[in-house]
Amino acid sequence: MKGYGKISGKILMLLANGVVLGSTKDKKEREKILRDSDRIWMSFDAKVLNRILRRFQKSGLAVQRNENGRHLFAVTETGRRKALAYSLNDLKIKIPRKWDKRWRMVLFDIPEPKRKKRDALRDKIKQLGFLEFQKSVFVFPYPCDDEINSIINFFDIAENVYCIEASINPDAELRKHFKI
């Protein structure tokens, strides 16, 4: 995260984990996020944590509320976007041991005024391992709903992107490409 150290990035991500929890459907994944968040949060030195949280407040990334004598911090919209950008850089799709014989397709029709977002989406899904099937159609063999939703939310292009899960016939060339 530009202008912030690794610890600051982690703290901002922890504040924004509510967004991730809200978009994750998998119960085990939510439990893992909570466990990991708790472990990471408790590993920070209290003085460092407070200094970074104050800096987040000053820069508009977080706000503080006082409820029942407790200081609660919440990420702002600006902070959420920074956290999403930070997490987007680390985004990876988990590959299961066994392929379920379903193809995931991302299709998009993003208008010219949003060209930068269109190009960034194309670059990111290629980076994740998607195969360009056509200019605005990409294919991937493994579940990736959460990852694609994170990208779509980050670029704010939900109305222009479609995700489809289907079988493709013939798919020999695709299976050869993905080595499945």
78 and 115 co-located in one domain: no
The pLDDT of residue 161 is above 80: yes
Whether the bond between 111 and the residue before it is cis, its omega within 30 degrees of 0, is no
Burial class (CB in 10 A: 0-12, 13-18, 19+), 41: middle
Q: Are 52 and 110 found together in one domain? A: no
Residue 114 within a domain: yes
The 10s digit of each residue's pLDDT in 57-110 is 999 998 888 888 787 888 888 888 788 777 788 789 999 999 999 999 999 999
The Cα diameter of the chain in Å comes to: 63
Q: How confident is the model at residue 1 (pLDDT cuts 50, 70, 90)?
A: very low
Name the average pLDDT for the chain: 86
CATH at 12: 1.10.10
Last residue of a domain, one of 89, 114, 131: 89
Query: What is the reported pLDDT for 134?
Result: 92
User: Final residue of a domain: which of 34, 62, 89?
Assistant: 89
Predicted local distance difference test score (pLDDT) of residue 41: 78
> Is 154 within 8 Å of 84 (Cβ atoms)?
yes
- Is residue 48 situated within a structural domain? yes
147 against 26, higher pLDDT:
147
pTM exceeding 0.85: no
Number of domains in the chain: 2
Task: Find the domain containing 148 and state its range.
Answer: 103-178
| CATH code for position 125 | 3.30.70.240
